[in-house]
Amino acid sequence: MHIRRALRPTRRPNSRNPRTRTARTLLAAATALLLTSACSSGGEQHRTVPAAEAVLAPLPSSTPSALSSYYGQKLTWRDCGVPGFECATMKAPLDYERPGAGDVRLAVARKKATGPGKRLGSLLVNPGGPGGSAIAFLQQYAGVGYPAQVRARYDMVAMDPRGVARSEPVECLDDRAMDTHTQTDVTPDDRKETDALVEAHRKFAEGCGARAPRLLRHVSTTEAARDMDILRAVLGDSRLNYVGASYGTFLGATYAGLFPGRAGRLVLDGAMDPTLSSRQMNLDQTAGFETAFQSFAKDCVRQSDCPLGGRGTTPRQVGDHLAAFFRKLDAHPIPAGDADGRRLGEALATTGVIAAMYDKSAWPRLREALTSAMKENDGAGLLVLSDSYYERGADGRYSNLMYANAAVNCLDLPPAFATREQVEESLPAFEKTSPVFGRGLAWASLNCAYWPVKAIAEPHRIEARGAAPIVVVGTTRDPATPYRWAQSLSRQLSSARLLTYDGDGHTAYGRGSGCIDSTINAYLLDGTPPPNGKRCG
């Protein structure tokens, strides 16, 4: 699957993030774009996949005695090293079925309400992935960039989920091995290249099993949602108030399904559909990136610096030109000015283009990067885009985003494909869905086939009966979480209100729509949900 995460502009002038950012964007999820995990779409192809019959059952409303020590713990807050923020460590059971089998230590950060106005409690934020650091998102965006009136009345809080960033991170490969992995040809042309791709997926999975044996069985979304309930109690809140983006919507919906009576004001922005299989999600996301690329193509040819065609060039022709460029890179990678000697090949270039589909504001930089690569034989711009997607720093070090992403996705659902033969059978469907990206995204969907831990769940509905109104937000041309996923989730959740943003990009809150922002702000501040079906441009 592919990464589902929200990308947001960094609003702090002196970001602590050492990585080079193409559009000064900051990663947020579960969110899903890499060629090693995630899911999404935007196309409107007809699907015959039956809705999942299983329904996520709520947990008992009373706290089990075996968990009382976790719910009753006191956090010791300390300085984070970031002005205005404080940090703490929370304990949760490694295995909720066996609370005495050991703990997992979870990193928490907060920025206290600034006032004026009555304090409304805590507002937990999660950027998606899975694997995106919620604490980085809080410190670099939400805690300084959310509307002032929201930050005035809520303690802004984040917790890196188990296995992510500061919370006992899952590790799989060393940095050099990850460099090799990201450059693996994901559009194999013959048996030898197919064998190499399969071996790359296998080595990645084996590395995770060898380096993270303790956590790998306990990084599911359900366990992360249960951790959130402990945090709610420890913070002294009777209900959980939450804004989750991308994969964070699945985490938030899961919380509501498990603890409907404790769900407060929940915003699920860029919603996922829990009823879908991994294969269908990946096919949907392939359609989503094709939809986003069509929008980019139409815009590109209207600009004077578009290297893929001029006025009158159709989106299909733009796609043909890009595909031809990818084929050239497959045969002859080009220099990228990289200190570690990496050259820009098809795999890294494709990731760079896909990364820019998440945010319309990145389109000018993508045109510039493509122009440099196609006309000047300089792949530096596309490499920067790709590195920002993978969270590879200028020092050559990777965050654990990709490792945690695969660990959660492969535990949450059975693999999209179990064998290379299954991928080959599905190639026509993926290539029809996206002539540019389909083949690569199909082969990327093989990533969980060799996972050392068996998936623990299946597709299911989340109804959260008895929960307070939940706002589900969908963007009509979202490349990573297709709009129809938001429609589906809003039909499942018994108290959902669907809020639609008619636009481009991944997620909607804080992207410049006054209508979206004012609607969500009113809900968070006054508890007033929008009418179901409200649309914003």
Active-site annotation, residues: 246, 478, 506
Q: Which long-range contacts (CB under 8 A, 24 or more apart) does 427-431 make?
A: 429/283, 430/283, 430/286
Whole-angstrom CA distances from 110 to 8, 117, 165 are 19, 19, 16
What's the sign of the alpha-carbon dihedral 29, 35, 38, 44? positive
Residue with tokens 């579960």: 30
Do residues 29 and 126 touch, judged by C-beta distance below 8 A? yes
Rounded Cα–Cα distance for residues 1 and 33 (Å): 8
| Phi then psi dihedrals of residue 257, to 5 deg | -70, -35
Neighbours of 194 (CB within 10 A): 16
Give me 251's structure tokens: 């985490």
Do residues 478 and 506 touch, judged by C-beta distance below 8 A? yes
Task: State the virtual CA torsion across 334, 336, 342, 348 in degrees, nearest 10.
Answer: -80
30: amino acid identity, one letter:
A
Do residues 219 and 411 touch, judged by C-beta distance below 8 A? yes
| Phi then psi dihedrals of residue 237, to 5 deg | -100, 135
Paired strand residues for 334: 344
Rounded Cα–Cα distance for residues 161 and 104 (Å): 10
Rounded Cα–Cα distance for residues 410 and 219 (Å): 10
Do residues 470 and 269 touch, judged by C-beta distance below 8 A? no
Do residues 133 and 237 touch, judged by C-beta distance below 8 A? no
Q: Give every CB contact of residue 425 below 8 A, 6+ residues apart in sequence.
A: none
Q: Would you report the helix, strand and coil content of the chain in percent, each value rounded to 5? A: 40, 15, 45
Task: Tell me the pairing of strands 470-477 and 496-504.
Answer: parallel
Neighbours of 213 (CB within 10 A): 11
| Phi then psi dihedrals of residue 25, to 5 deg | -90, 155
Residue spans of beta strands (DSSP E) within 342-495: 343-344, 470-477
Whole-angstrom CA distances from 276 to 15, 267, 410 are 37, 21, 14
Whole-angstrom CA distances from 254 to 224, 226, 321 are 9, 9, 42
Residue 86, judged by CB atoms within 10 A of its CB (0-12, 13-18, 19+), counts as middle
Do residues 231 and 207 touch, judged by C-beta distance below 8 A? no
